[in-house]
Amino acid sequence: MPIALPPHRCLSQPVLRQSTTTLSFETRGRGFIEITRAVGDWVRASGVQAGLLTLFIRHTSASLVVQENADPDVCGDLERFFARLVPDGDPLFRHRDEGPDDMPAHVRAALTSVQVSVPVDDGRLALGTWQGIYIWEHRTDRHRRDVALHLVGS
Protein backbone atom coordinates (compact mmCIF):
# COMPACT_ATOMS: atom_id res chain seq x y z
CA MET A 1 0.00 0.00 0.00
CA PRO A 2 2.74 2.51 -0.75
CA ILE A 3 0.37 5.09 -2.25
CA ALA A 4 -1.42 5.50 1.05
CA LEU A 5 1.80 6.56 2.77
CA PRO A 6 2.81 10.22 2.85
CA PRO A 7 5.66 11.13 0.49
CA HIS A 8 8.16 11.76 3.26
CA ARG A 9 7.68 8.26 4.63
CA CYS A 10 10.81 7.19 2.81
CA LEU A 11 12.86 9.46 5.06
CA SER A 12 11.24 8.49 8.34
CA GLN A 13 14.20 6.17 8.80
CA PRO A 14 17.70 6.87 7.50
CA VAL A 15 18.07 5.95 3.84
CA LEU A 16 20.74 3.33 3.31
CA ARG A 17 23.48 4.19 0.88
CA GLN A 18 26.69 2.58 -0.28
CA SER A 19 30.23 3.57 -1.18
CA THR A 20 32.96 1.61 -2.91
CA THR A 21 36.63 2.10 -3.61
CA THR A 22 39.84 0.17 -4.13
CA LEU A 23 42.84 0.77 -1.89
CA SER A 24 46.28 -0.37 -3.04
CA PHE A 25 49.13 -1.31 -0.76
CA GLU A 26 52.78 -2.13 -1.39
CA THR A 27 53.88 -5.20 0.54
CA ARG A 28 57.48 -5.85 1.58
CA GLY A 29 57.50 -9.53 0.69
CA ARG A 30 56.24 -12.26 2.97
CA GLY A 31 54.65 -10.91 6.12
CA PHE A 32 51.95 -8.64 7.45
CA ILE A 33 50.93 -5.09 6.54
CA GLU A 34 48.42 -3.50 8.89
CA ILE A 35 45.72 -1.58 7.00
CA THR A 36 43.34 -0.80 9.87
CA ARG A 37 44.02 2.94 9.85
CA ALA A 38 43.76 3.41 6.08
CA VAL A 39 40.48 1.51 6.00
CA GLY A 40 39.10 3.27 9.09
CA ASP A 41 39.96 6.68 7.60
CA TRP A 42 38.02 5.84 4.45
CA VAL A 43 35.01 4.74 6.51
CA ARG A 44 35.11 7.94 8.54
CA ALA A 45 35.35 10.11 5.42
CA SER A 46 32.19 8.46 4.07
CA GLY A 47 30.13 9.88 6.92
CA VAL A 48 28.44 6.52 7.51
CA GLN A 49 27.68 6.08 11.20
CA ALA A 50 26.28 2.54 11.20
CA GLY A 51 26.69 -0.11 8.56
CA LEU A 52 28.84 -2.91 7.23
CA LEU A 53 32.26 -2.66 5.63
CA THR A 54 33.47 -5.47 3.37
CA LEU A 55 37.09 -5.90 2.29
CA PHE A 56 37.96 -8.19 -0.62
CA ILE A 57 41.56 -8.80 -1.74
CA ARG A 58 41.81 -9.22 -5.50
CA HIS A 59 44.63 -11.80 -5.39
CA THR A 60 45.11 -15.52 -4.77
CA SER A 61 48.55 -15.40 -3.13
CA ALA A 62 47.85 -12.91 -0.33
CA SER A 63 45.15 -12.89 2.36
CA LEU A 64 43.14 -10.62 4.60
CA VAL A 65 43.30 -11.51 8.30
CA VAL A 66 42.07 -9.94 11.50
CA GLN A 67 44.64 -10.58 14.21
CA GLU A 68 46.17 -9.21 17.38
CA ASN A 69 47.78 -5.81 16.91
CA ALA A 70 49.48 -5.57 20.31
CA ASP A 71 52.41 -8.02 20.38
CA PRO A 72 54.29 -8.25 17.05
CA ASP A 73 55.35 -11.78 18.01
CA VAL A 74 51.82 -12.93 17.11
CA CYS A 75 52.30 -12.12 13.43
CA GLY A 76 55.83 -13.56 13.55
CA ASP A 77 54.52 -16.80 15.06
CA LEU A 78 51.72 -17.01 12.48
CA GLU A 79 54.31 -16.67 9.73
CA ARG A 80 56.56 -19.33 11.30
CA PHE A 81 53.64 -21.73 11.75
CA PHE A 82 52.45 -21.40 8.17
CA ALA A 83 56.01 -21.69 6.81
CA ARG A 84 56.28 -25.06 8.57
CA LEU A 85 52.75 -26.20 7.66
CA VAL A 86 53.09 -25.33 3.96
CA PRO A 87 56.80 -25.60 3.16
CA ASP A 88 58.25 -23.79 0.15
CA GLY A 89 59.47 -26.12 -2.58
CA ASP A 90 57.34 -29.04 -1.38
CA PRO A 91 57.77 -31.76 -4.06
CA LEU A 92 54.02 -32.44 -3.75
CA PHE A 93 53.33 -29.33 -5.83
CA ARG A 94 53.28 -29.21 -9.64
CA HIS A 95 52.43 -25.53 -9.98
CA ARG A 96 55.88 -23.90 -9.68
CA ASP A 97 55.83 -21.36 -12.52
CA GLU A 98 56.89 -18.53 -10.28
CA GLY A 99 59.19 -20.37 -7.91
CA PRO A 100 59.12 -22.49 -4.74
CA ASP A 101 56.88 -19.98 -2.89
CA ASP A 102 54.23 -19.88 -5.65
CA MET A 103 51.96 -22.79 -4.76
CA PRO A 104 52.49 -22.45 -0.98
CA ALA A 105 51.10 -18.91 -1.35
CA HIS A 106 47.90 -20.29 -2.92
CA VAL A 107 47.55 -22.88 -0.14
CA ARG A 108 48.04 -20.23 2.57
CA ALA A 109 45.38 -18.11 0.84
CA ALA A 110 42.96 -21.07 0.85
CA LEU A 111 43.66 -21.69 4.57
CA THR A 112 42.97 -18.08 5.52
CA SER A 113 40.58 -15.51 3.95
CA VAL A 114 40.09 -13.57 0.75
CA GLN A 115 37.36 -11.41 2.30
CA VAL A 116 36.25 -10.06 5.65
CA SER A 117 33.25 -7.92 6.65
CA VAL A 118 33.30 -5.71 9.75
CA PRO A 119 30.27 -3.90 11.21
CA VAL A 120 30.55 -0.12 11.55
CA ASP A 121 29.26 1.45 14.74
CA ASP A 122 29.35 5.13 15.70
CA GLY A 123 31.34 5.86 12.55
CA ARG A 124 34.09 3.39 13.44
CA LEU A 125 34.98 -0.22 12.68
CA ALA A 126 33.52 -2.39 15.45
CA LEU A 127 36.83 -4.21 15.97
CA GLY A 128 37.69 -5.69 19.33
CA THR A 129 40.28 -3.95 21.49
CA TRP A 130 43.17 -6.05 20.19
CA GLN A 131 42.04 -6.58 16.62
CA GLY A 132 43.78 -5.14 13.57
CA ILE A 133 43.13 -5.82 9.88
CA TYR A 134 46.12 -7.07 7.93
CA ILE A 135 47.16 -7.98 4.44
CA TRP A 136 49.20 -11.14 4.73
CA GLU A 137 51.63 -11.28 1.82
CA HIS A 138 52.49 -14.91 1.06
CA ARG A 139 55.00 -14.36 -1.74
CA THR A 140 58.66 -13.75 -0.89
CA ASP A 141 58.82 -10.79 -3.32
CA ARG A 142 57.16 -7.41 -2.85
CA HIS A 143 53.80 -6.96 -4.52
CA ARG A 144 51.19 -4.29 -5.01
CA ARG A 145 47.93 -5.61 -3.58
CA ASP A 146 44.49 -4.20 -4.36
CA VAL A 147 41.74 -4.39 -1.75
CA ALA A 148 38.20 -3.64 -2.95
CA LEU A 149 36.03 -2.02 -0.28
CA HIS A 150 32.24 -1.88 -0.08
CA LEU A 151 30.37 0.03 2.58
CA VAL A 152 26.61 -0.03 3.12
CA GLY A 153 24.97 1.97 5.88
CA SER A 154 23.58 5.33 6.92
- Tell me which residues in 101-130 interact with a copy of itself (CB under 8 A): 103, 106-107, 109-119, 121, 126-130
Helix H segments across 3-92? Answer: 36-46, 73-85
8 Å CB contact between 103 and 96 = yes
Q: Is 66 in the site for a copy of itself (CB under 8 A)?
A: yes
Binding mask 38-57 for a copy of itself (x = CB under 8 A): ------------xxx-x-xx
Q: Which stretch binds a copy of itself (CB under 8 A): 23-31, 37-45, 86-94?
A: 86-94
Q: Is 18 in the site for a copy of itself (CB under 8 A)?
A: yes
Q: Which stretch binds a copy of itself (CB under 8 A): 23-31, 36-44, 88-96?
A: 88-96
> E strands of the chain, at which residues?
17-26, 31-34, 51-57, 62-68, 115-121, 124-125, 131-137, 144-153
Cα separation values, 78 from 47, 72, 115, 137, 146, Å = 35, 10, 18, 12, 22
Q: Is 65 in the site for a copy of itself (CB under 8 A)?
A: yes
Q: Is 26 in the site for a copy of itself (CB under 8 A)?
A: no
How many whole angstroms separate alpha carbon 31 and alpha carbon 52? 27
Of the candidate residues 31, 93, 123, 140, the single one contacting a copy of itself (CB under 8 A): 93
For the bound state, the minimum distance from the C-beta of residue 43 to a copy of itself, rounded and expressed in Å, comes to 13
Intra-chain end-to-end CA distance of the chain, in Å: 25
* Count of residues near a copy of itself by CB under 8 A: 74
